[in-house]
Amino acid sequence: MSLARIIGLHTLAVLVGLLVVSAVALWGLNGLRHDYGQALSGYAQLRDAYEVGARVETARVLMTGHDAPAALRELRKISARLDAGQGATFDRAGDVRLSVGRAERLLAQGGMENGSAARAELNAVLSKLATTSADVRRDVEARQQTAEQKRDVAMWWVGTVCAAVIVASVVIAWSHYRAVTVPVARLTRAAQELAVGRFDGRVAASGGPRELVELARQFDRMADELHSLYTNLEDRVQQTGRQLVRSEHLAGLGTLAAGVAHEINNPLGIIAGYAQMMTRAHDDGRATVESFKAPAGVIVDEAFRCKRIVERLLTFSRVGAGPRARVDLAEVARGVVTSLRDSGTTGERGVELDLQPAGVFAVADEVKQVVMNLILNAIEATRPDGKIQVVTRAVGVNVECVVRDDGAGMDAGTIARATEPFFSDRRGKHQTSADGVRGTGLGLSICDAIVRAHGGSITLTSDGPGRGTSVTVHLPAVVEGAV
């Protein structure tokens, strides 16, 4: 059954109940009106009887006092009143009018000589009025009793029908609640499950209004389609993710291969050139030990350069693999700066130290390599009279090592790519590292790999080219008692 039909039938039932209550109430009120009207009519008859009786008694008293004219006037007033319309009150008294008329004629014809006969007529009238009054009184009491009974019956029926209508209304309201709100609540719970990604919830409505059953079916069908779509989409996302990871790996491998090829191609070209030069000198008969000494030295240097490039590449696969112990970054930084000063690497540059104890649990040689690379990068980026600051400190559950310089600085693009393998903004400028060998663009990449292997991160900041650079290494602080 449809929801509209259910609501229509329930509304019709309530209206029928209200009509029944109204009909019973009107029936009871009409009966009360009729019975109480009869009772009021009886009271009016009693009033008329008492009034006529009082005048008859007055006339009788006047006749007793031998005042025939006054008694005659009173009797004529009684006759006038009876003739004016109050005679209907005394229909059941039979000949009240006749008795009053006879008494009036007796007084009019003989005066007090007929007083006894007139009094006898008036006594008869009083007796008849008394009987009539008693009959009217009993009738009024009967009407009142009947009216009270009808009132009680009407009130009982009205109360019963009202109670039945109230009970029916409560039942109808409850059925409406069960028929509408319960399915809606199930739909709400199922929709909430869909919202959080649980697609196994179904409404599966059976029975109830046809519209809500159809709505539940459509919701379940939608949930099935969403589940299927989500599953397919999840599979596609996973597949696409694997493809992206594979593409990223391939792209990284391509970048690495291109960098390796570029970096190794230069020394190989130099080696090949000097080897060809030595071969031509040998073929021309110009070959001597002394003439081969310089080219051979260049070939050896370039060969070792290739070796260093390969060794630094292998470092990526070995970071964090050595034995770990408690290392104080402050002591490491102090030792690195001291060794660089003693070797003359810092030159005239001012190196300011602000070192606080900063313990980490790490591979000591790798931490030293990170600090060394960062300070060397700062030295290479600053002028001979530049300034460098090295700071170590504890920050909450982490420690920091900050290396600041007032050198060349970086733009946003350089900062974004600074840790990529073989990336260097110094290429083509012929700047060399501390050992006199040109940089390969692997220093920051290796530092980043080492720091990440120890659960930390590197942050580079700069106000722009020519405004210096700040490199901050974040590492987890050592837990006291864990070593």
Average pLDDT over residues 268-280: 80
Dist. CA 63–CA 104, nearest whole Å: 11
pLDDT recorded at residue 255: 58
Cβ 54 vs Cβ 126: under 8 Å = no
Query: Which tens digit of pLDDT belongs to each residue from 210-232?
Result: 777 777 777 777 777 777 787 78
Dist. CA 371–CA 353, nearest whole Å: 13
Predicted confidence band of residue 433 (pLDDT cuts 50, 70, 90): very low
**Nearest residue to 279 via CA among 261, 266, 263, 291:** 291
pLDDT recorded at residue 480: 63
Flag the least confident range among 170-179, 305-314, 434-443: 434-443
> For the chain, what is the mean pLDDT?
76
Helix (H) or strand (E) holding 400: strand 398-405
Average pLDDT over residues 17-29: 76
CB atoms within 10 A of CB 130: 13
Flag the least confident range among 19-23, 331-335, 432-436: 432-436
pLDDT recorded at residue 328: 92
pLDDT recorded at residue 32: 66
Q: Look at 53 and 312; give whichever has higher pLDDT.
A: 53
Q: What percent of the chain has pLDDT over 90?
A: 11
Query: Which tens digit of pLDDT belongs to each residue from 93-128?
Result: 446 767 777 777 777 777 777 777 777 877 877 777
pLDDT recorded at residue 68: 73
State the pTM of this model. 0.42
pLDDT recorded at residue 249: 55
Domain boundaries, the chain: 3-180, 320-476
Dist. CA 167–CA 386, nearest whole Å: 96
Which one is the CATH code of 320-476: 2.60.120.200, 3.30.360.10, 3.40.50.10860, 3.30.565.10?
3.30.565.10
